[in-house]
Amino acid sequence: QKEVEQNSGPLSVPEGAIASLNCTYSDRGSQSFFWYRQYSGKSPELIMSIYSNGDKEDGRFTAQLNKASQYVSLLIRDSQPSDSATYLCAVTGTASKLTFGTGTRLQVTL
Amino acid sequence: ETGVTQTPRHLVMGMTNKKSLKCEQHLGHNAMYWYKQSAKKPLELMFVYNFKEQTENNSVPSRFSPECPNSSHLFLHLHTLQPEDSALYLCASSHVDRSYEQYFGPGTRLTVT
């Protein structure tokens, strides 16, 4: 079983719609959860962090965490073409090591 | 310069060559990391340095040799690589006590022929 699992996509959403990106993790002791955005040919950039169950909102982005289900998601409201990128889910486990998923490629279409 | 810089941005080398990748951070961080990113695979952590001391070697083959002379500079020395080592090599830095908040450099695209 992969430690951090994401659907590779591509996930295609029309401009203005809500994009929903999902991630599951295997380490039940995981403490902290992150979303990184990586544009094609660029390096990853931290965009959201969440540490407790529930929702955390930052502008058009909302991170959702459900530790009981070992599930974390990222919602992007009013999706823009500039949101087209690969979104990496990352989790710190019991060893405090940051473990990444393979990423989900998001395409926002006009 | 600001942030995390890496040189060279692209590198093509033969299997018998020796080359080095360089990373420099200008963020005042005290932890630095090397990652390997291959197509369709998750980012693989290779090495971690905290206060220029190596704290993690993630079972990396000895043909990859890291060096961290100070908290701002990190090198990855390469020798007798294999074609499957072709990948994007990313350097990152962070504060030691905020290791989850890593800032990445632009990466070196390495091709081994």
Query: Nearest-CA neighbor of A9 among A61, A99, A86, A96?
Result: A86
Distance from CA of B80 to the nearest CA of A (A): 26
Q: Give the one of A2, A98, A103 whose C-beta lies nearest to B102's C-beta.
A: A98
Average pLDDT over residues A61-77: 97
Band the pLDDT of A96: cuts 50, 70, 90.
Answer: low
> Mind telling me how many Å the CA of B70 is from chain A's nearest CA?
22
- Residue A88 tokens read as 């990496």
How far away is chain B from the Cα of A56, in angstroms, using its nearest Cα? 17
Confidence tier at B77 by pLDDT (50, 70, 90): very high
Residues of chain A contacting residue B107, judged by C-beta atoms under 8 Å apart? 43
For residue A40, what are its two tokens? Answer: 């094609």
Nearest residue in chain B measured CA to CA from A37:
B104
How many CB pairs lie under 8 A apart between chains A and B?
41
Q: Which of A96-100, B37-41, B85-89, B93-97 has the lowest mean pLDDT?
A: A96-100
Q: Roughly how many angstroms between the first and final C-alpha of chain B, as a whole number?
A: 32
Contact A96 B41 (CB under 8 A): no
Pairwise CB contact (< 8 Å): A101 & B90:
no
- Which residues of A fall below an 8 Å CB-CB distance to B? 2, 4, 8, 32, 34, 42-46, 49, 88, 90, 92, 96-103
pLDDT score at B101: 85
Task: Using alpha carbons, list the distances in angstroms from residue B21 to B7, B77, B113.
Answer: 6, 6, 17
Task: State whether residue A58 is helix, strand or coil.
Answer: strand
Average pLDDT for residues B56-65, to the nearest whole number? Answer: 91
Question: In Å, how far are A41, A78, B4 from B106, measured between CA atoms?
Answer: 8, 28, 8
At position B39, the amino acid (one-letter code) is A
Task: Tell me if A82 sits within 8 A of A106, measured CB to CB.
Answer: no
pLDDT of residue A95: 63
* Confidence tier at A94 by pLDDT (50, 70, 90): low
Q: How confident is the model at residue B56, as a pLDDT? A: 84
Residue contact A99–B42, C-beta within 8 A: yes
Expressed in percent and rounded to 5, the helix, strand and coil fractions of chain B are 5, 55, 40
Give B73-107 as a 3 state SS string: EEEEEEECCCHHHCEEEEEEEECHHHCCCCEECCC
For A34, which of B100, B103, B106 is closest by C-beta distance?
B100
Q: Give the angle A82-A74-B103 at the CA atoms, nearest 5°.
A: 70
